[in-house]
């Protein structure tokens, strides 16, 4: 079986490629593989399916290090099928599901459950992040060995920082025995108690309790020190402040084994957007100031920031149609991540190949061997994008169970046309 994608602008940063090419994906019993050929050199004859990608971008399927898919336990917000459906509609072919479900993913059995449910859906590849601590409670280590055996690819306590420094040290040490990276949500709760948005002129004006950047920076400083001391691999999730980017730049220079990502909303919005108390802008980490946004983009460009994550966090009207202080944090993003990122290219803030690298090979390298080759076309995962097509983000177009996006009702530029996972077309845009 084979699939031919013809005449698209093929960007595969892992192969340092940006040129008009044909891509052939072959599938057999052992899996799928993709190879790149000169444009027009491959005859359409004999391929099970041919996609004409003239004028389009042909990218490796996107890899997302952080999505809250809510199953098990909060299926009214999202489940693994709807989450994976939204993912492939957004060109995301590999998703790391966060463990902050109910119950939390803190043992082998639940890892296995999530993995199997993801596989059964047969859409995006669902990889599983296992908890660092039992029940995400920060009291004792989760069954890390058992979770690795069941297929966990990284460790994370979701949106909670491991507050106990001694326990975090042990988690980092122990994770080395199982070759797992520890992902930290670096935010010291004692510096942000009751905080709702970035602490600054806007929080003062709106009378909403602030989350200062130092809540993140002090937490990162501790975790970097522990990572250097233990020699373990640390991944700092969703960096949000300019100073935090600088901390990571220095740590990387010093040789600390650390990677990091930025959440897509922090790249395209600032706290100025909160004027009308839109609860869809209550995010964790919070939207910060323009200078922070610019530093995040600079960090993406120079490689300090390895990846862009969706931080997809579906919340229903029960959590969002409330006064701001009562609302839960988070916004959906799996389906919107790529178009939102493309606005940065349109504004000439970043070049397209670098952006694609941070959405594909960058996050794949954070996962190392557990990415199973994802992040390059060679893996057989492909996203075909019409870069200039505009589409209205309406309720009907969203495939997530929840509609909590500050971009609802807005027109986005850049539309995913087809998504291929393991050589199989799992998403094709409906043409009306």
Partner 1 sequence: MIAGKHLLGMRGMSADTIHHILDAAEGFRGISRRTIKKVPSLRGRTVLSVFYEASTRTRVSFELATKRLSADSVNIASSGSSAEKGETLLDTAKNLDAMQCDAIILRHSASGAPHYLADRVSARVINAGDGQHEHPTQSLLDLLTMRQCFGKLEGLEVAICGDIMHSRVARSNLIALKEVGARVRVAGPRTLVPPELAETYGCEVMPSIAQAVDGAHVVMALRLQKERMTAGLLPSLREYAIEFGINARVLSRARPEAILMHPGPVNRGVELSSDVVDGPRSVILDQVENGVAVRAAVLYLVLGGEAA
Binding status of residue 201 toward partner 1 by CB under 8 A:
yes
Which C-beta is closer to partner 1: that of 276 or that of 432?
Answer: 276
Nearest distance in Å: CB 27, partner 1: 50
Q: How far is the CB of 289 from partner 1 (least distance, A)?
A: 11
Among 30, 41, 45, 276, binds partner 1 (CB under 8 A): 276
Nearer residue to partner 1 within complex by CB, 202 or 331? 202
Taking CA atoms, 201 is separated from 193, 197, 269, in Å, by 18, 11, 16
Chain residues 349-388 in contact with partner 1, contact rule CB under 8 A: none
- For 277-336, what is the HEC assignment? CCHHHCCCCCCCCHHHHHHHHHHHHHCCCCEEECCECCCCHHHHCCCHHHCCCCCCCCCC
**322 sits near partner 1 (criterion: CB under 8 A):** yes
Among residues 200, 286, 330, 339, which is the contact residue for partner 1, using CB under 8 A?
200
Sign of CA dihedral 170, 165, 179, 313: positive
Identify the CA nearest to 65 among candidates 189, 304, 239.
239
User: In the complex with partner 1, which residue's Cβ is closer, 255 or 323?
Assistant: 323
Using rule CB under 8 A, residue 290 touches partner 1: no
Which tokens sit at 388?
A: 């200039």
Give 389's contacts (C-beta < 8 A, 6+ positions apart).
413, 414, 415
Q: How far is CA 383 from CA 93, 364, 399, in A?
A: 8, 15, 17
Residues 202-231 touching partner 1, rule: CB under 8 A, are: 202-209
Please report whether residue 323 would count as binding partner 1 according to CB under 8 A. yes
3-state helix, strand, coil in the chain (%, to 5): 35, 25, 40
Q: Which of 277, 301, 343, 372 binds partner 1 (CB under 8 A)?
A: 277
Closer residue to partner 1, CB minimum distance, 58 or 202 = 202
Q: Does 326 interact with partner 1 (rule: CB under 8 A)?
A: yes
Which one among 290, 321, 351, 388 touches partner 1, defined by CB under 8 A? 321
Residue-wise burial string across 299-320, b where 16 or more C-beta atoms lie within 10 A, e elsewhere: bbeeebbbbbbbbbbbbbeebb
What are the residue numbers of the active site?
Answer: 311
Nearer to partner 1, 210 or 339 (CB): 210
* Smallest distance from partner 1 to CB 290, Å: 13
Query: Which residues make up the interface to partner 1 (CB under 8 A)?
Result: 200-209, 276-277, 321-326
């Amino acid at each position: 079986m084979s699939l031919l994608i013809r005449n698209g602008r093929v960007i595969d940063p892992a192969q340092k490629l940006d040129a008009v090419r044909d891509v052939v994906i072959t599938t057999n019993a052992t899996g799928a593989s993709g190879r790149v050929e000169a444009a027009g050199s491959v005859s359409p004859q004999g391929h099970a399916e041919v996609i004409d990608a003239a004028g389009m971008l042909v990218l490796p399927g996107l890899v997302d290090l952080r999505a809250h898919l809510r199953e098990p336990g909060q299926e009214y917000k999202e489940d693994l099928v709807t989450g994976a459906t939204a993912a492939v509609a957004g060109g995301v072919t590999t998703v790391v599901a966060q463990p902050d479900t109910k119950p939390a993913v803190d043992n082998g059995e639940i890892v296995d459950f999530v993995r199997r449910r993801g596989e059964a859906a047969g859409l995006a590849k669902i990889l599983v992040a296992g908890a660092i601590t039992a029940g995400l409670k920060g009291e004792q280590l989760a069954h890390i060995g058992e979770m690795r055996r069941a297929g966990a690819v990284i460790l994370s306590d979701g949106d909670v920082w491991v507050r106990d420094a001694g326990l975090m040290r042990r988690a980092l040490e122990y994770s080395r025995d199982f070759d797992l990276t520890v992902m930290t949500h670096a935010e010291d709760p004692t510096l942000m108690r009751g905080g709702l948005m970035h602490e600054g002129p806007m929080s003062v004006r709106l009378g909403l309790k602030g989350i200062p950047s130092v809540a993140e920076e002090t937490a990162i400083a501790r975790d970097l020190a522990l990572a250097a001391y233990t020699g373990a691999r640390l991944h700092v999730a969703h960096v949000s402040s300019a100073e935090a980017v600088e901390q990571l730049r220095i740590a990387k220079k010093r040789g600390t084994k650390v990677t990091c990502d930025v959440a897509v909303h922090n790249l395209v919005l600032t706290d100025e957007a909160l004027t009308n108390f839109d609860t869809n802008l209550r995010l964790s980490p919070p939207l910060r100031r323009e200078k922070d946004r610019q530093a995040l983009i600079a960090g993406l460009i120079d490689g300090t920031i390895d990846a862009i994550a969706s931080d997809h966090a579906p919340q229903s009207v029960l959590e969002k149609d409330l006064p701001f202080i009562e609302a839960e944090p988070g916004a959906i993003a799996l389906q919107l991540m790529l178009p939102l990122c493309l606005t940065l290219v349109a504004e000439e803030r970043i070049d397209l190949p670098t952006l694609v690298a941070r959405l594909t090979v960058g996050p794949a390298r954070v996962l190392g061997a557990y990415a199973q080759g994802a992040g390059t076309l060679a893996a057989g995962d492909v996203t075909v994008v019409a870069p200039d097509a505009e589409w209205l983000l309406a309720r009907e177009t969203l495939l997530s169970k929840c509609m909590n996006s500050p971009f609802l009702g807005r027109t986005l530029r850049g539309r995913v046309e087809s998504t291929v996972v393991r050589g199989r077309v799992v998403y094709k845009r409906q043409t009306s």
